[in-house]
Structure 1
Amino acid sequence: MTRTLTALSARRRHPLAVVVLIALALVLVGGLYAAVAPRPAEASTATADADDLEAGKELFLANCATCHGLDAQGGEIVDGSGAGPSLIGVGAASVDFQVGTGRMPLQMSSAQAPEVPKIRFSQEQINQMAAYIASLAPGPAIPGEDILDLSDVTAQDVSRGAQIFRTNCAMCHNFAGKGGALTGGKYAPDLTGVEGKYIYEAMVTGPQSMPVFPNSTISPEDKTAIIAWLTQEEEFRPEPGGLPLGSLGPVSEGLLAWIAGIGLLIGCSVWLGMKSS
Structure 2
Amino acid sequence: MAREKKRRSNGRRSPLAAAALIGIGLLLTGGIYAGATAAIAATEDESSTTSTLTAEDGKKLFQANCATCHGLDLQGTESGPSLYGVGELSVHFQVSTGRMPLQAQAPQAPQKPVQFTDEQIEALAAFVQSTAPGPTFPSEEVLDGEGDVAHGGELFRINCAMCHNVAGAGGALTEGKYAPNLHTTSPLNMYAAMVTGPQNMPVFNDLNLTPEDKRDVISYLMFLQESESPGGYALGSLGPVSEGLFIWIFGIGSLIALTVWITAKSN
- What range is the shorter-chain TM-score in? 0.7 to 0.9
Tell me which of 248, 265, 270 is aligned to 2:260.
270
CA displacement at 1:182 relative to structure 2: 1.1
Instruction: Give the structure 1 partner of residue 143 of structure 2.
Output: 148
Q: Which amino acid aligns with 1:267?
A: A
- In structure 2, what is the Cα distance between the partners aligned to 1:221 and 1:195? 18
Instruction: Give the structure 2 partner of residue 214 of structure 1.
Output: 205
- 1:96/1:142 contact within 8 Å kept: no
- In structure 1, what is the Cα distance between the partners aligned to 2:131 and 2:102? 22
- In structure 1, what is the Cα distance between the partners aligned to 2:233 and 2:64? 49
User: Does 2:183 correspond to 1:192?
Assistant: yes
Give CA-to-partner distance per residue, 1:159-190, whole Å, 9 cap, x none.
Answer: 11111111111111111001111111111111
SS at match of 1:75: coil
Instruction: Give the structure 2 partner of residue 84 of structure 1.
Output: 80
- In structure 2, what is the Cα distance between the partners aligned to 1:87 and 1:235? 35
Instruction: Give the structure 2 partner of residue 205 of structure 1.
Output: 196
- In structure 1, what is the Cα distance between the partners aligned to 2:142 and 2:266? 70
Q: Which amino acid aligns with 2:251?
A: G
SS at match of 2:107: coil
Q: Which runs of 5+ in 2 are unaligned?
A: 1-52
Tell me which of 239, 261, 264 is aligned to 1:249.
239
Larger helix fraction of residues: 2
- In structure 2, what is the Cα distance between the partners aligned to 1:125 and 1:259? 48
Q: Which amino acid aligns with 2:244?
A: G
CA displacement at 1:54 relative to structure 2: 2.1
CA displacement at 1:237 relative to structure 2: 7.3
Task: Let me know the Cα RMSD of the aligned residues.
Answer: 1.9
Instruction: Give the structure 2 partner of residue 130 of structure 1.
Output: 125
User: Does 2:64 correspond to 1:62?
Assistant: yes
Instruction: Give the structure 2 partner of residue 109 of structure 1.
Output: 105
- In structure 2, what is the Cα distance between the partners aligned to 1:121 and 1:180? 28
CA 1:221/1:132 → structure 2, altered by over 3 Å: closer, same or farther? same
Instruction: Give the structure 2 partner of residue 174 of structure 1.
Output: 165
Moved beyond 4 Å, runs of 4+: 234-238
Give CA-to-partner distance per residue, 1:65-114, whole Å, 9 cap, x none.
Answer: 100011101013xxxxxx20000000110001111111111122222111
Larger CA Rg, structure 1 vs 2: 2
- 1:72/1:87 contact within 8 Å kept: yes
SS at match of 1:84: coil
- In structure 2, what is the Cα distance between the partners aligned to 1:234 and 1:109? 31
Instruction: Give the structure 2 partner of residue 45 of structure 1.
Output: none
Give CA-to-partner distance per residue, 1:131-173, whole Å, 9 cap, x none.
Answer: 22112333110223232123xx26xx11111111111111111
Q: Which amino acid aligns with 1:116?
A: K
CA 1:250/1:66 → structure 2, altered by over 3 Å: closer, same or farther? same
CA displacement at 1:238 relative to structure 2: 5.7
- In structure 1, what is the Cα distance between the partners aligned to 2:76 and 2:225? 42
How many correspondences in the alignment? 215
- 1:172/1:182 contact within 8 Å kept: yes
- In structure 2, what is the Cα distance between the partners aligned to 1:114 and 1:202? 15
CA displacement at 1:64 relative to structure 2: 0.8
* Percent of pairs with identical residues: 58
SS at match of 1:253: helix
Q: Which runs of 5+ in 1 are unaligned?
A: 1-50, 77-82
